[in-house]
Every structure is written in structure tokens, then in C-alpha cells.
Amino acid sequence: MKIYDVIIVGSGPAGMTAAIYAKRANLDVLLLDKLAPGGQIINTYEIQNYPGFSSVNGADLAMQVFEHTQALEIEFDYGTVEKIETEEREDGGCGTIKIVTCAEGKTYRSLAVILATGTKPRMLHVPNELDFAGKSISWCAICDGAKYRDKSVIVIGGGNSAVEESIYLAEMAKKVTVVTMLDLTADPMACDKLKSLPNVEVHEWFDIKEFLPGEVFTGLRAVSSKTGEEIVAHGDGAFEYIGLQPVTEPFAGLGILESHGYIEANERMETAVPGIFGAGDSNSKLLRQIVTACSDGAVAAQSAAAYKKKCMG
Ligand SMILES: Cc1cc2nc3c(=O)[nH]c(=O)nc-3n(C[C@H](O)[C@H](O)[C@H](O)COP(=O)(O)OP(=O)(O)OC[C@H]3O[C@@H](n4cnc5c(N)ncnc54)[C@H](O)[C@@H]3O)c2cc1C
């Protein structure tokens, strides 16, 4: 079976950047993703902080980066990686061969692997959430926002994603009610813009107790953590942006995850397993943004090239 120099798991900004750098370092690269290439930015309406673009649609940026990988003739395949194992090299050389197994039944082999599987949104875990999840409760405004044209929506959360997506929803919804457990913690410029919108109402320091029960979604009940005041926020649907968790379950057996499930990697993106590198949002790190994901991907690819040189000469 063919042995790639490097297999990159995840084709978000981190994975695609790693692929570009690895290919330009003359490595034989396979880029794998369970979904269409692009990662989370596919579902981001407007990005305003990626250098060189004062405003760019996330799906457009993803397509441009993917086209860059295709211009370099980087091999891309669909596959949901469910397991990574290591085995000694048959020729007894240094380093191990990584066996990458996908749920769809395909298995690939490589000298190095870069893990760039990102994060997924957290749920609130309050009563009645599961009854409406995926129907009237969504985690993606760009996917489901259009359903709420001239209707009322609730956005839960106060970080950058919550505030940016609230601004997006306010362009089409009749009313956007933002309910957040703390105060608004997003960039001050974005918070100022949100608060200036006439159809937006913000409730800070409210704990959400439940989504209102019933056949049809009508809203939620929340209690102020400061005053004990109870409010009922009404809406035709809700969007949750209360944080993220790493998508790293397939790597749990490798001994490379910290206690919250993020990949522990050093500044060279090396994990505890030689030849396995981590990059992007799935790493334990300070700032999860496109620009830092790209940076991690570039470093991981350089480290993979150095690993190949050390093992193969
Ligand atoms: C709503 C929202 C708005 C945002 N706005 C901005 C912004 O304005 N500016 C900014 O800089 N950042 C923004 N971000 C953050 C930015 O999207 C992330 O930092 C960035 O996408 C991280 O890139 P990544 O490659 O590490 O991971 P991701 O983009 O999450 O990509 C991970 C990829 O791995 C794949 N994958 C996962 N598991 C497997 C598996 N087992 N097998 C195969 N493939 C797998 C996924 O399908 C996905 O394609 C936003 C995020 C959200 C959610």
C-alpha cells in the first residue's frame, strides 16, 4: 500500500495551509476531510479580521484557499478518520508508519500525520433543548438564518461568534434578542455595532433555565445571576454560541490530549508521538482564529518535512 509523506486530517484553514506548505516542501501529501473542504469558515458570513481582506465571505475565502491547494495538485479525499495507529517501519528505519483508518472503510498509511480537526459548538444542556435541537435551535446562522426573515430570533452567548452572528441575523430578522450568561465579551467594535442596531435587545448576566416546552418553539426562560429577576425571551428560533469543544475523540488513545480533550503540541506543533503533529483550533492554545490556524498549519508542515528528512534522509 502507498505510504504518503504526510496525511493531513481536516481541511479547514489549518489543514489546507499545512497542505500548501507541505506540498511546497516537496512532500507527498493527502488531505482528508469528512465534509467539504473549508472547515468552520464555510459557515461564517463575514470575516473582517483576516489580513488583506477588510471583509470577505467565509465560503468564498474557503474556496480560494481550496483552489490554491488544487493549483498545487494536492490530493484531497473524503474520509471520516476514526482511528490512528503506529507501526514500526519494515526497513527498521527511524520513525513509525501511521495507519489512518476511516469510518467509510478506507485505510491510508503515511510517515507523518497532521491533526487539524477543529472544534464543534457546545450545547447548553437545559430542559427541552434536545426537543428543538436541529429544528428551531441551531448553531449556524448562515445555514439557518434565512428561515427567520421578518421573524424573531434569540441568540445565546456574548463572545465574538455570538455578536457577529447576531449582527448578521439582525439584517433579516424582525427582532434579535441576545441573552448572555456574562456581559458581552466580543471585540468592542462589534459590541458597539450590535448595541446600535434598532432591532436588537441585549440581556447580560442571565442564566438560561429552560427552553419553553411545547410542540412549537416559543422561547426560553432565564434568571439574572445578579438580581434574581426572571425573564421570558420570546422568539421563533434560537442560535447557540456558548463556546466550543475539540473534535478529537478519534485520537483519545494516542496519549496526546490534555484534560479538556485538546491536542497538546509544542511550538513546533509536535505532539508526544513522534511524527504526529497538531494544528489549529483542536490544539490547546490561546487564540482560535483563522490566522492562528493558518500559522499552526504552516509550522506543522515544516515540522513534518523535518521529520521526513530525519527519518528518510
Ligand atoms: C460562527 C463563527 C464565526 C467565526 N468568525 C471568525 C472570524 O470572523 N475571524 C476569524 O479569524 N475566525 C473566526 N472564527 C473561527 C475560525 O472559523 C476558526 O478559528 C478556524 O476555522 C479554525 O480552523 P481549523 O482548520 O483549525 O478548524 P476547522 O475550521 O474547524 O476545520 C476542521 C476540519 O476538520 C474536519 N474534521 C473533523 N473531524 C474529522 C475527522 N474525524 N475526519 C476527517 N475530518 C474531520 C472538519 O470537517 C473540518 O472541515 C469563527 C468561528 C465560528 C464558529
163 falls in which pLDDT band (50, 70, 90)? very high
Compute the distance between CA of residue 88 and CA of residue 182 in angstroms, rounded to an integer.
51
Compute the distance between CA of residue 135 and CA of residue 311 in angstroms, rounded to an integer.
51
Fold agreement between 3-120+244-312 and 123-240: yes
Q: Which one-letter amino acid corresponds to residue 105?
A: G
Averaged confidence pLDDT in the chain: 96
Ligand 1 atom with least separation from CA of 35: 47
Q: Which one-letter amino acid corresponds to residue 116?
A: A
β-pairing verdict for 206-211 and 200-204: unpaired
Q: Which of 213, 4, 13 is nearest to 127 (CA)?
A: 213
92 CA distance to ligand 1 middle (Å): 38
Mean pLDDT of 141-152: 92
For 79-131, how does the pLDDT look when each residue is reduced to its tens digit (9 = 90+)? Answer: 999 999 999 888 877 889 999 999 999 999 999 999 999 999 999 999 999 99
Q: Domain 3-120+244-312, what architecture?
A: 3-Layer(bba) Sandwich (3.50)
227 CA distance to ligand 1 middle (Å): 37
pLDDT given for residue 115 in this prediction: 98
259 CA distance to ligand 1 middle (Å): 21
| Residue 303 grid cell | 515540522
280 CA distance to ligand 1 middle (Å): 8
> Would you say residue 199 has pLDDT above 80?
yes
| Residue 167 grid cell | 449582527
Whether 296 lines ligand 1, by a CB cut-off of 6 Å, is no
pLDDT given for residue 95 in this prediction: 84
pLDDT given for residue 312 in this prediction: 84
247 CA distance to ligand 1 middle (Å): 10
Q: Is 201 left (phi over 0), alpha (psi -120 to 50) or beta?
A: beta
Burial class from Cβ neighbours inside 10 Å (0-12, 13-18, 19+) for residue 12 reads buried
Instruction: Using the Cα atoms of residue 247, residue 249, residue 253 and residue 258 in order, give the sign of their dihedral.
Output: positive
Q: Are 87 and 277 in contact (CB under 8 A)?
A: no
Ligand 1 atom with least separation from CA of 102: 42
What is the chain's percent helix, strand, coil content, to nearest 5? Answer: 30, 30, 40
Name which residue sits closest to atom 29 of ligand 1, judged by CA: 39
Query: What are the extents of the domains in the chain?
Result: 3-120+244-312, 123-240
What percentage of the chain exceeds 70 in pLDDT? 100
Residues with Cβ within 8 Å of residue 300, at least 6 apart in sequence? 14, 18, 114, 116, 265, 269, 277, 278, 279
User: Among the listed ranges 41-45, 97-101, 229-233, 307-311, which one has the minimum average pLDDT value?
Assistant: 41-45
What are the CA-CA distances from residue 275 to residues 13, 169, 234, 254 (Å)? 21, 43, 52, 12
* Beta strand residue intervals within the chain, DSSP E: 3-9, 29-33, 75-78, 81-88, 96-102, 107-115, 119-121, 137-138, 152-156, 175-180, 200-204, 206-211, 219-224, 230-234, 237-240, 244-246, 276-278
For 283-296, how does the pLDDT look when each residue is reduced to its tens digit (9 = 90+)? Answer: 999 989 999 999 99
pLDDT given for residue 313 in this prediction: 72
Q: Which fold, 123-240?
A: FAD/NAD(P)-binding domain (3.50.50)
Whether 297 lines ligand 1, by a CB cut-off of 6 Å, is no
pLDDT given for residue 270 in this prediction: 98
Ligand 1 atom with least separation from CA of 289: 19
Q: Which of 10, 270, 21, 36 is nearest to 115 (CA)?
A: 10
Whether 270 lines ligand 1, by a CB cut-off of 6 Å, is no
For 200-215, how does the pLDDT look when each residue is reduced to its tens digit (9 = 90+)? Answer: 999 999 999 999 999 9
**Hey, which of 117, 187, 263 would you mutate to test ligand 1's pocket, going by the most ligand atoms within 8 Å of its Cβ?**
117
Ligand 1 atom with least separation from CA of 283: 26
pLDDT given for residue 124 in this prediction: 96
> Would you say residue 142 has pLDDT above 90?
no
